[in-house]
Structure 1
Amino acid sequence: AEASYRTAKADYDFQSNIALNRELQQAQAEVQTAQVDFQHTQNQLRALGSSEQNLQRDDHSKDASIALVRAPLAGVVTERKFNAGAGIDAASPLFSISNLSSVYVIANVPESNVGKLVIGSVAEIRSNSAGTFNGRISYIDPRLDEATRTARVRLEVPNPQGRLRAGTFTEVGFYTGTNSETGEELVVPSGAIQREGDKTIVFVPKDDEPGAYEIREVEIGGEMEGYTAIKSGLKLGEKVVSKGSFTLKTQMQKGEMGEHGH
């Protein structure tokens, strides 16, 4: 009987070891497959420009349920696409991120005015909640909306303090001080603009009288990147004094310009 017991136990242990070895081999194969998938994902992230720091494994020593999610760019989270505790499928977007240091403003411009605009022209953007900004036209849609007879015009607007938010309603004023033949916009260095009472003036050098300047009243538009748009009072190609214009203004106020300025 004892011999039969030993034989049966040996057979049982043998069969158990076969089952354990089969499960162990299966688990080892799954680990190897997971390692290959992990390395493949890392290579894909490297190909997309992710840094080595972003590829480091998360520290799960304190809480294995927390995973660090790194954004591919800096910005502000503007939309969350899931609820806490929800399951997430692979490749599903989690958040929308926007960099609001520079924003696009879309204006619907009537058909009759689109032809007066050129890419690069200055525009003034006004918001009741955020204030006034200056921007430049970066794109003019060649198509018209058949219902409204307007074209979409895109403006790039610096927004360093983030005052303009996505979805903000704005009013846009375009400065069309351009040459209809060349499409060039009339702008001058902002340092050339001076104030004299309620007038805005520039100093224009006289071609036939060296050292003499004409005081010209102008109507200005928006300012951007150190340049101010001129709506009227100057012609394309005319020169103005930029450096030293404040000195000329001081001399004018003291009456030192005499016959040289009028």
Structure 2
Amino acid sequence: MRKNTLYIIIAAIAGLLLGYLFFGGSDSSSTSGQSHDHNSEAADHMWTCSMHPQIMQPEAGDCPICGMDLIPAETGSEGVGPDQITMTENAMALANVETTVVGSGDFGSGDAIVLSGTIAVNEEAMAVQASYFDGRLEKLNVNYEGQQVRKGQLLATIFAPELVAAQQELLTAASQKESQPKLYQAVRNKLKFWKLTDEQINGIENSGKVHEFFPVYATVSGTVSEVMSAEGDYIKQGQPIARVISLSSVWAEFDAYENQISQIKEGREISITTKAYPDQNFEGQVSFISPVLDNATRTFTVRAILNNQKGLFKPGMFVNGQIRSGVQSDGDQKLFVPVSAVMWTGERSLVYVKARAELPVFEMRAVTLGERIGESYTIASGLQAGEEVVTNGTFTVDAAAQLQGKKSMMNPEGASSVTGHEHHSEMQPDQSMEMDLPESFQKGFIGLLPSYLKMKDAFVASDARAIAGEASALGNKMNNLDDSSLGKMEKEYFRESVRLIEKISGSAGLKEQRAYFVNLNERLITLASHMQLNSTFYVQQCPMANNNKGAIWLSAEEKIRNPYYGDEMLTCGKVEQVLN
């Protein structure tokens, strides 16, 4: 029994010794390695705020601006230049970012300029039917727009006292035409000037009777576009009765941009399509190019004449045209990029180029554009054949650059130097101007601030009804404040503040009230910053309000309670200035 127990003890000791020999050292080294990897990862990992990406902290926690939980910042951007940005594959897929190699896509195929326009009346085929003598319009045979008339058709009948007298002269001269032929001929010519025909004149002479009413006949065939007189009107010689247009031919007028001037020439073929006849193409030629550029739209008119004998085209109809530009007729190889790849800033044209073919790394590039051909631009400088540009999701890439503090469309210098609380908002009270506020006005204005703070608290509570009530009370007090001693500029600031308060009190929607509150604070705080206040006030700012432009408000306490978002982001903001 004792011998068996001894064997068991010896076996157990031997097992422990063998276990230590095989596994004892590995546990320590493994644990040490794991600890080292974790520490290295923790040292390299940074945390940021999804709403305030300028915040970078070495450990997890809350955003010091808005209080939201920090998230891990993207890593793995080794080898990325200071002006380059990276995007994850997931972000690119969600934004549907697409790229195209410059020169590989046949953007200029067809070499056509696509224009939009309308069908217009051919003004060369327009006529105004007028009265040739004074009189009263007894009968009008054209009564509405769109009525068809034929050349020689009776348009109107006019009672003309002058013609009655002229007929009497004709009958008298006819009886003396053998002795006074020149007088007789002069009277006949006088009637001819009033558009009476030889047949009409001979009829009067042969009948010996004076006609009181005279007809007016159409001189052209066409469509009545405007009736310009009414029955019973007394009209003067030359006064229009109706306007008649011929629609046997019409104008197709297109708007072209000024950068297309050099590509469009008179006589070039233009292919025209319209939604009314989607299966037909109509051919024409450029017959006119406007010599004047429209200053408002920066476009000029291109015109083609279309045969309309079948009446297919109606004035006002929308049409599209394609003109062969001939931009490559000189044999030069030009680079094209789609219109969607280009961002405009008013002065610069920008594209995003993929800097590394194997990785989603992009950089902004300024380019010089040439002509616009259809939905593409020619590139005069800034790109080379074979480079890859973003053609879809361009603005998403630019937004990512802004969030990463890199150069972007709205910030060409980059914002990498702006971090944490050093961020400076443009939304500041304007203290650069000089204001002279009388002591009596300052005293009355300071008395308004408790009412303002009540209204601000209602904004914090997101209570639109309470906001309207507090704004109404504040508005009444402001209207009772004497501003007659203020200068012109100071009075304008104060009066505009009163107007904005009235807008807030009259608005039922919280979103609209907050929009007026942004502008109100700019004016009230500017006034307050030029006063000797009797207590401390804090000018506070939310960088996300006012469509991410930032907005300020006035508070009597340093603690942030955001009136632009309320409970959604109650602590988002910071103190910009202290007014004593």
TM range (shorter): 0.3 to 0.5
TM-score for the superposition, normalised by structure 2: 0.22
**Higher fraction of helix:** 2
Identify the structure with bigger relative contact order (alpha carbons < 8 Å, sequence gap 6+): 2
TM-score for the superposition, normalised by structure 1: 0.45
Larger Rg belongs to: 2
